[in-house]
Structure 1
Amino acid sequence: MARLARAEVFDPNEVTIAHVMARTVRRCFLFGNDPVSGKNFDHRKVWIEQHLQHFAACFGIDLICFSILSNHYHLILKSRPDVVASWDDTEVARRWLMLCPHRKDSNGNPLPPSECELNAIRNCPEKLADTRSRLSNISWWMRLLNQRIAQRANHEDEETGRFFQDRYRAVRLIDESALLACAAYVDLNPIRAAMAETIEQSDHTSAQRRVETCTEQPATTHNDGLRHDDSFLAPVEIDESNGETSPVASQSGTRCSDKGFLWFPLEQYLELLDWTARQIAEGKHGKTPEHLAPILQRLGLESSVWCELVEDFGKLFKTVAGNPCAVDEHRSCKTHRRFRLSRRVRELIPSD
């Protein structure tokens, strides 16, 4: 059966969490060591992460997780139209002009917009409304990201044509169980691909950035132009003191909001990642820490089920992800059709 149109799955006016993935053409290693050409393109991973940090500071979208491998990358994004609604017209215009600047400095960085450039957006109601919508639209994030990486890589290689295999893939994450399993799937991708043995060695992942923050090293900008901390990522733990319904817009200027996405702290999330990596990685043996058991129990998942969900997340979920009961309660945005889940998902997570 044909996959539902993306407009049926994602409503741009709703806060939505999505797992998105883009792969290079013909699965060539255009972000790493390419065995065909013998060239190394690891520096392009830095390009992507530079854009992620810039986009997180400008878009009305929370960057929850990311991992960049040799021929594809994964992101978990949370659209925040509620945060964008709290921005005044000048802020909306300024953020868009920092994403699509009219002027750049000698290094190619966007220059602060002039009053004339700001007025071109904020004094036109139609353009302003469209710009406000774009700032919380995941499709615009992916469009600009893939376009800029493709253009820069093609220019470097003196090539033309497609750089990415197809339009990015997107799966909507409906509940916390799906979000946690997908976050682990994304953060553990380098370990599953045998590119790293531990989380702290997993370069160009959100997990590594969070580990670097846990070491309490001062946030600095390295020679690669990247901030090696997690200030641009969404916080892990939901701070109930801020209110569950509050947008919690960030004042730091490095991310959209300060609202977390899980109900337990960063340290427990990293411990869960480490335990999961030991279960998946061949030749590794580990014992589940006793304090992690309540997390899996609250999810209603056995350890073996959890490991299969994380290991095969990309194969199990195609359009939406979540507990079958939660998925069955949702309908597509326009035709109100039911979402389909594979038989294996329903076997792993039986409905009550």
Structure 2
Amino acid sequence: MPKPRKTQVALSATPYYHCVSRCVRRAFLCGRDPLSGRDFSHRRGWIEARILKLTNTFSIDVCAYAVMSNHVHVVLHVDQALAESWSLDQVIDHWHGLFTGSFLSQRYCRGDAMGRAELSALHQQVEVWRGRLQDISWYMRCLNEVIARQANQEDNCTGRFWEGRFKCQALLDEKALAACLAYVDLNPVRAGIADTPEASEFTSIRQRILQRNTAPGSQPVQLLPFSGNPREEMPKGLPFRLDDYLELVDWTGKQVRDGKRGAVAQDLPPILERLAIEPKHWLSMSLHFESRFKGLVGTAYAVKAACRQLGYRRYSGVSRCKELFG
């Protein structure tokens, strides 16, 4: 039986999460349907634009994404401190960017005179919105619902576009985060619809490479930046160097495309050495991350600690995490 979302997200354990949404019956509702011959590829652009737009509204950063023909991957970073630092007016502005708000919030924005009871009720409502603006379930709802409505309107039909639940995996440490990022960024290469990461349309890796080539030293503003290796006074961002990560993705992609899962090159990317990941284990994870792990991903120690925080009595994936992460 699937666990409820509140028992899968523990911000005290990690702010990083991998989410996957699939179309109903895994139909090609975002790509070219081989049976009907219809091409829905333009919807992938809808989804990418929506993902990037939501970064301006939620206190949730996008680390990576890949929009495929029948499913979507996003790796998210929940910035809880940012949401808590927002003022009353900022929370209302962010929420009104998604919804019309309430009668009280509309009156407040118009500058109408409000009594003490009305202001108290408004503050209570704003705190609810503050929580939702840092909630992964609300993020995925605001992503998927808009796309489903657009697609149904285009098809002149009703009914489900996405499966009922999105899959969520907690990334507990740097090893899990790096493996998941590479897994998501290499989705089109593994699927055979792109030869290289920079040719992978509707992916974060393509956005990062294009930005780097256009303006060296800069990174896309809509994506959580790479901030370098962990250190004191670490700025907000992914705990890797961008060049190291791109080298890792390029190396991994070559292994996948050449069918050399057992033949590992001698010149390994330095990021694998720093993370102390065996090359054969890395290739296994970058090929099958989603199927290899359940809800919690990281070293066995990190998984057991997260299980205690979430109140789990047992966790079936500890042995696999111990095998691959050590």
TM-score by length of 2: 0.87
Identify the residue that residue 186 of structure 1 maps to in structure 2: 184
- State the SS of the aligned residue for 1:331: helix
- 1:298-320 per-residue CA deviation (whole Å, 9 max, x = no partner) reads 22221111000111101111111
The residue aligned with 1:312 is 288
Which residue does 2:233 correspond to in 1?
A: 243
The number of residues matched between the two structures is 315
Task: State the distance in 2 between where 1:122 and 1:161 align.
Answer: 40
Query: Which moved further from structure 2: 173-182 or 121-130?
Result: 121-130
Q: Please show how residues 251-266 of structure 1 align to structure 2 within 5 Å.
A: 259-262=236-239, 264-266=240-242
Residue 220 of structure 2 corresponds to 230
> How far apart, in 1, do the equivalents of 2:40 and 2:69 lie?
8
Match for residue 337 of structure 1? 313
1:71 aligns with 2:51: no
Amino acid at match of 1:237: S
Pairing 1:115–2:109 present:
yes
Q: How far 1:346 moved relative to its partner?
A: 3.1
1:280-302, CA deviations, whole angstroms, 9 ceiling, x for partnerless residues? 1245799747472x321222221
SS of residue in 2 equivalent to 1:34: coil
Bigger mean CA offset, 87-96 vs 322-331: 322-331
Instruction: Give matches, 1:6-155, under 5 Å.
Output: 6-11=5-10, 16-101=15-100, 115-116=109-110, 124-155=122-153
CA distance in 1, matches of 2:289, 2:148: 27
Separation of aligned partners in 1, 2:294 and 2:87 = 37
In the alignment, the residues of structure 1 paired with residue 229 and residue 258 of structure 2 have an alpha-carbon distance, to the nearest angstrom, of 37
- 1:280 aligns with 256
Residues 142/260 of structure 1: CA separation in 2 closer, same or farther (3 Å cut): same
Indicate whether 1:270 and 2:246 are aligned.
yes
Counterpart position of 1:346: 322
Match of 1:255 in 2: none
Question: Which secondary structure state, in structure 1, belongs to the residue aligned with residue 72 of structure 2?
Answer: strand
- Asked if structure 2 preserves the Cα contact closer than 8 Å seen for 1:65 and 1:187, the reply is yes
Shift in alpha-carbon separation, 1:268–1:50, aligned structure 2, 3 A: same
Matched-pair identity in % = 35
Q: Report the Cα distance in structure 1 between the residues aligned to 2:119 and 2:59, rounded to whole angstroms.
A: 17
Query: Which residue among 322, 328, 343 is the counterpart of 2:304?
Result: 328
Secondary structure of 2:152's aligned partner = helix
Match of 1:251 in 2: none
Encode CA deviations 1:199-250: one digit per residue, 9 max, x unaligned. Answer: 11000000000000111259xxxxxxxxxx7210000124878924xxx6xx
Match of 1:166 among 164, 167, 190: 164
Letter in 1 for 2:295: T
Question: In structure 2, the residue corresponding to 1:22 is in which secondary structure?
Answer: strand
2-side partners of 1:142 and 1:324: how far apart? Answer: 28
Superposed CA deviations along residues 114-152 of structure 1, whole A, max 9, x for unmatched, are 823998999612101001101111110001111111111
- The 1:341–1:323 alpha-carbon spacing in structure 2 relative to 1, beyond 3 Å, is same
The residue type equivalent to 2:227 in the other structure is E
Displacement of 1:63: 0.5
Q: Distance in 1 between matches of 2:281 and 2:176?
A: 13
User: Could you tell me which residue of structure 1 aligns to residue 210 of structure 2?
Assistant: 212
- Tell me, what secondary structure is at the counterpart of 1:215? helix
Query: TM-score, with normalisation over the residues of structure 1?
Result: 0.81
Q: Which moved more, 1:193-202 or 1:112-121?
A: 112-121
| Counterpart contact for 1:90–1:122, Cα < 8 Å | no
| Preserved CA contact (<8 Å) 2:83 2:130 | yes
C-alpha distance in structure 2 between counterparts of 1:47 and 1:321, whole Å? 30
Structure 1 residues 212 and 74: CA distance shift in structure 2, 3 A: same
Please report how far the alpha carbon of residue 10 of structure 1 lies from its aligned counterpart in structure 2 after TM superposition: 1.1
> What does residue 226 of structure 1 align with?
none
Farther-moved stretch of structure 1 (279-288 vs 202-211): 279-288
CA distance in 1, matches of 2:266, 2:52: 33
2:14–2:170 contact (8 Å) kept in structure 1: no
Q: Which structure has the highest helix share of the two? A: 2
Q: Give, in whole Å, the separation in 2 of the partners of 1:320 and 1:14.
A: 10
